[in-house]
Amino acid sequence: MNYKIRSIRADEWAAAKELRLVALRDPVAHLAFMETYDTALAQPDSFYKERAVGAAEGAEKAQQIIAEGPDGEWVGTVTVLLEEAGTVDWAGFAVERKQGHIVGVFVRPEVRGIGLTEVLFDAALEWAWGRGVERVRLIVHEDNERARRFYGKVGFIPTGVVVPLGGNSDERELEMAVERP
């Protein structure tokens, strides 16, 4: 495997935007992301610049990690957000302890199955553990079997927390987590 795994730099917002738009065209994007392609496309460049600054190398509250191919093309990404004890998360749930929250997982279809996602997750967990978190969690749609299988394979287990999806009470997302070793 000849891929470089690294955190993004703040000035790489355009590449981050491009990979996000590719991710939102994935056949399971409606299950994996809480944003549509059209919504993301309509965002001004300032949105992506701010997002990149907040998750770039050296940022303290989030980190976007990418897999860069030998030709410089970004082929995968994962972002870790830090959640502090005593705060409320995006879904309105109380955060009881300092934890990481993995979001935005995507690997281009043409390089899936070669271990890039595992390496991205290793880097994400290493970053989170280095910030003193007690656990790292993620939220996955109950119908996203491919993702659920992968997350289980890399050590995430269901916690029993269920997150209802907005206006559609028939759909749910499930929390999975891994405890600090």
Q: pLDDT tens, 72-106?
A: 999 999 999 999 999 998 888 899 999 999 999 99
pLDDT at 165: 73
Question: Looking at the predicted structure, is the pLDDT value of residue 164 above 90?
Answer: no
What is the longest distance spanned by two Cα atoms in the chain? 44
Reduce the secondary structure of the chain to three states and give it as a string. Answer: CCCEEEECCHHHHHHHHHHHHHHCCCCCHHHHCCCCHHHHHHCCHHHHHHHHHHHCCCCCCEEEEEEECCCCCEEEEEEEEEECCCCECCCCCECCCCEEEEEEEEECHHHCCCCHHHHHHHHHHHHHHCCCCCEEEEEEECCCHHHHHHHHHCCCEEEEEEEEECCEEEEEEEEEEEECC
Give tens-digit pLDDT for 47-60: 999 999 999 999 99
Q: Residue 90: its pLDDT value, please?
A: 82
Instruction: Work out the mean pLDDT of the chain and round it to a whole number.
Output: 94
Predicted confidence (pLDDT) at residue 167 exceeds the cutoff of 90: no
- Average the pLDDT over 150-165 and give the result: 92
- Give mean pLDDT, residues 123-145: 95
- Mean pLDDT (whole number) for 64-70: 97
The Cα-based distances of 103 to 2, 90, 169, 170 in angstroms read 25, 12, 22, 22
Q: Which of 2-6, 20-24, 30-34 has the lowest mean pLDDT?
A: 30-34
Is 70 exceeded by the pLDDT of residue 166? no
